[in-house]
Structure 1
């Protein structure tokens, strides 16, 4: 059974939404998944739907996606109200009508002094220019836009745990926002935010970002009861199909529940994770690597070890540093260590990927910081750089970190990823060759590691080598959509091999001989791994790449072998725990999904 990538991804987001039902999750964590789901769905209509929207808009496949998305929205609204009922009276969201005169004494002033001066009054004629994601209100003669930076859920002074929606307050006092009092109805517009311009340097990136808000509308979300004539005017003004209009009960953006999560009691959250700290490595990273490789599994083993390794760039024996940076966030100790190394006169070279979707502005800020600190920011290549590599070079050799996850401190503590630290000469040589080639604008010629379509070739060759009754393949990816890899998997499975697929988000082929599942739970599954039995001498590879055509053809990724026997055993133990998991799993079957919750095998618990 074949699936469109977009349809498979939407099914993943439904699995995210279903975490709000988990009987073993604390209440605030279940609420948090509503926000994650909504943020994912906004991204879907801003980017992931682009191919079908632009090439097949209105066809059966596009309409099926819209139908599934709307069904999820209606179910999310049900879950929101059910979870609020469960949270009451410790946490509650009041209607504007439930506020008393003392409450209104405060909110009248708040609306008049804080909100009204910052709202925009827009004529109906300008409907085609409405911004992506903002909260709007429609009235008979005008549209009103709320500023994006105002919280959508406001605490009621003097009533602990009690909130009111900003939208409900605005509707109750329309006289503060319109020339004359009139009814107001809420709506949002989502647009494609992908720039259609090819970006070859940082100047062009900045120009592309300036114009990105002008994308084509893909969805109109309006509250139930929205006047039909007004809704039709919005739809026509935005040039949307009738199916591209969703009617939902407010709130129209469930990310506002994050305010409840922050305000709720700590006992309603997951207990903090205490990651294992590799003490010997943290004291002397380079000395430890001179003895043997180190493999860590985050977040259960401290991501701070990666930052500590970066700080080793400041040691006297380190002369030169190379790093790939993709989604690094607003604050990043690793990036700060690179800046400090440059200030101390080290030669620091950074492949900062400016085209990381929706993180472009953040990376542009880092680009200027690196530039002004004396770091060489390598030119943006034709291929997007998605590899995760950090290289410290000394006169005697060097040290490398290779990973499956971004150099991002927040992700490093919430995502499951592998980190490999090594001083092996053959690995350091290949990592250095990778950076030199990209710096020179040429394609890397690597001996041990793989990049580009060589990753696909290795995967296909290794899978086909397992195409016999005693063969076994375990693949773990976020997305598995590449036709050649899938074809090889079918061949191996039909020849009798056991094929285990751990695919978090997108799997475009469901086969009765596959053992396929998606793990969704407390931590975002993010590691990419390929393991092959090889007659009992397991071959294990880690990679930054998902098994998608674009990752092989249009990106610089890195796939690298796990050479240490102990490290291979560790990776295989993680994979086999996930294969057995029956607490966070959804079996992906041709006839549909099967939920595995409540069992004894929890792969998201710290390894024993």
Structure 2
């Protein structure tokens, strides 16, 4: 329903926005719901549970750390929804406390079902048989004891700076001194991360259950070896989550960004503590740790059983468990190369569009492999934001340089939590003769671009790959993304200009077909949304469909509200954070928001504008967030071929009809999961899109 007359909405109105941080927590609850869903295979449920913990830790290490630092500094910033920093923290920790409770209720359920499938985690040493005890003792002496270092805490031994996210034992001990007075001691033992968290206990035959004993329990059984002559009073496991955001003054370090990043990565492990996870009932140990870490009570999470749930990913690698996992279809091969043709001639004849993971990422690797050995290829330019350890991309780039080609790679050293990996790749590429550019001052290179220059018939032709996802063959098996291969002269010219602008630190020009951040991308988004609004006012066809990971930018949200007010139908498919509030009468009642969480991570960014029947479709590396528009180099590029537009329309059709994995965002911020019924047959877009 369109409001009449149109209600004036103001950017500063807190009632039209959701809070960014709290919206993220709601997203992680949707991931947790997949762990709770008994329709999912058991080990997949366990995987989702692990992901919730890993997500939560990273969220605390960056976003929550920033809020706590603001609070410590006495800064009460207001978020879009009008909440002050302290109010956001209070509500956030309440939600996280509820989440932790649900996580461990879910864990109990999963462990019970694992036991029914003959996989058992033995958490109580009393459940060990005699042979088990000897086996554990032998393992401790052979593999564990030499690695451990007990650390006493007293005036002459200050509290050690415990590494971020490591598992530790907090121990109180006592002994009788020479005057028969009881002396209490507090000590810490780090559970070694270089050893497996779970030790498989022996079994008499294959028909017996597989049993696993946690490493921390092994250490607890042998504490007398570490604290000779002392008596243990209490032992409790704990984990510290630290501020891990890296902040560098690039203006001052422009000449040596690589060295600066290496130094900052060392500091990451030693940031201020922002959360303490400790066993419930730790009592005195909890208080000691809280005081030593200078934390407030709200920063302490009491955990009922196993800490560090992400370590349970260990069980994904167990053999003979395929019946407890999703069956993933084998990706289709990429675009076909006809007999007598080459990959380049196929791209030159027609743009090629691939949908990962349904179609193989290998086409990108094949293109690089062929280019690295092709004598007609003169130059290769590429951006690397994240890549995988098993990807041959780095190898092919190195081989291309060794074969005399001009190879330039823009490696983003500031890709969060992949910085160390990227530094290693950068050095390896340099050793092969590749010219490596270490990012851009003040910006992250987040765009996904590959440019190949080839001499053909006495002229130079350019071939470009642009994508919504990273050049990472591992994540390409589980992330949904789209890839465009094109020899379109306008797009390839834009890509060439963009590469040269980045490497020369020049001013970003306005391009012909590609729209790039931080200069023109947001401006183009606003122009395209306003055009749909204008079409609606003129009674022409107007519709917007956006698919992205997060929607945060307030200016884009305001433009979508304005479009809704004049009758534009807006469908938003947003996996994670959404600060837009749908369903506000007279403001956003033409906007529908859905989130799809499932076996694949919805990662593709697709932007559709109906444009009075002359539809325009864009793919992008960017979400609609201030950081993407202002602090990153991003690209949005058009899909020009009608057959590819039709294919993307089919993708949207499945996503918007999904009633199995989709949740609808309500105006109060809650999500409602859709369920099929007799009148609405089941549609699971993540499965059904295999055929599209």
Fold conserved between structures, TM > 0.5: yes
Which is worse superposed, 175-184 or 149-158?
175-184
Aligned partners of 1:186, 1:161: CA distance in 2, in Å? 24
Q: Specify the SS of the correspondent of 2:671.
A: strand
Matched, 1:573 2:650: yes
| Aligned position for 1:275 | 331
Matched, 1:221 2:309: no
Q: How does 1:258-269 map to 2 (within 5 A)?
A: 258-263=313-318, 265-269=321-325
Q: Deviations over 1:558-580 (max 9, x none)?
A: 11011111111111211221111
Which is worse superposed, 66-75 or 429-438?
66-75
Q: Specify the SS of the correspondent of 2:368.
A: helix
Aligned partners of 1:258, 1:380: CA distance in 2, in Å? 33
Aligned partners of 2:337, 2:220: CA distance in 1, in Å? 58
**In the alignment, which of 557, 579, 587 is matched to residue 634 of structure 2?**
557
| Aligned position for 2:479 | 415
Matched, 1:236 2:321: no
**Contact 2:335–2:363 at 8 Å: present in 1 too?**
no
**Contact 2:240–2:276 at 8 Å: present in 1 too?**
yes
Report the TM-score when normalising by structure 1: 0.97
Q: Deviations over 1:537-571 (max 9, x none)?
A: 11000000111111111110111011111111111
Unaligned runs of 5+ in 1: none
Aligned partners of 2:197, 2:565: CA distance in 1, in Å? 53
**Structure 1 residues 607 and 176: alpha-carbon distance in aligned structure 2, compared to 1, 3 A threshold:** farther
Matched, 1:531 2:580: no
**Structure 1 residues 279 and 458: alpha-carbon distance in aligned structure 2, compared to 1, 3 A threshold:** closer
Matched, 1:358 2:417: yes
| Aligned position for 1:603 | 685
**Contact 1:481–1:507 at 8 Å: present in 2 too?**
yes
Q: Deviations over 1:214-247 (max 9, x none)?
A: 2111100110110x23211211111111000011
**Contact 2:390–2:474 at 8 Å: present in 1 too?**
no
Aligned partners of 1:508, 1:544: CA distance in 2, in Å? 20
Unaligned runs of 5+ in 2: 1-15, 73-84, 173-184, 584-588
| Aligned position for 1:308 | 366
**In the alignment, which of 326, 347, 353 is matched to residue 289 of structure 1?**
347
CA-based RMSD: 1.7
Q: Deviations over 1:337-380 (max 9, x none)?
A: 11110111110000000111111111111111011110000142
Aligned partners of 1:481, 1:318: CA distance in 2, in Å? 42
Q: How does 1:453-602 map to 2 (within 5 A)?
A: 453-467=519-533, 468=536, 470-512=541-583, 513=589, 514-591=591-668, 592-597=670-675, 600-602=682-684
**In the alignment, which of 448, 451, 455 is matched to residue 513 of structure 2?**
448
Aligned partners of 2:654, 2:71: CA distance in 1, in Å? 41
**Contact 1:511–1:590 at 8 Å: present in 2 too?**
yes
Aligned partners of 1:194, 1:33: CA distance in 2, in Å? 25
Matched, 1:157 2:206: no
Aligned partners of 1:560, 1:443: CA distance in 2, in Å? 20
Q: Please tell me whether Structure 1 or Structure 2 has the larger radius of gyration of its CA atoms.
A: 2
Which is worse superposed, 291-300 or 266-275?
266-275
**Structure 1 residues 597 and 363: alpha-carbon distance in aligned structure 2, compared to 1, 3 A threshold:** farther
Report the TM-score when normalising by structure 2: 0.85
Q: How does 1:351-390 map to 2 (within 5 A)?
A: 351-382=410-441, 383-390=443-450
Bigger helix share: 1
Aligned partners of 1:409, 1:354: CA distance in 2, in Å? 19
Q: How does 1:82-121 map to 2 (within 5 A)?
A: 82-89=109-116, 90-94=118-122, 95-121=124-150
Aligned partners of 1:574, 1:561: CA distance in 2, in Å? 16
| Aligned position for 2:9 | none
- How far does residue 262 in structure 1 lie from its aligned partner after superposition? 2.2
| Aligned position for 1:194 | 245
Aligned partners of 2:170, 2:35: CA distance in 1, in Å? 32
**In the alignment, which of 313, 317, 322 is matched to residue 381 of structure 2?**
322
Aligned partners of 1:294, 1:399: CA distance in 2, in Å? 11
Aligned partners of 2:159, 2:346: CA distance in 1, in Å? 62
- How far does residue 51 in structure 1 lie from its aligned partner after superposition? 2.7
State the aligned residue count. Answer: 607
**Contact 1:174–1:184 at 8 Å: present in 2 too?**
no
Deviation above 4 Å: which 4+ runs of structure 1? Answer: none
| Aligned position for 1:171 | 220
**Structure 1 residues 279 and 434: alpha-carbon distance in aligned structure 2, compared to 1, 3 A threshold:** closer
Q: Deviations over 1:264-287 (max 9, x none)?
A: 521111113211113524983212
Q: Specify the SS of the correspondent of 1:259.
A: helix
| Aligned position for 2:104 | 77
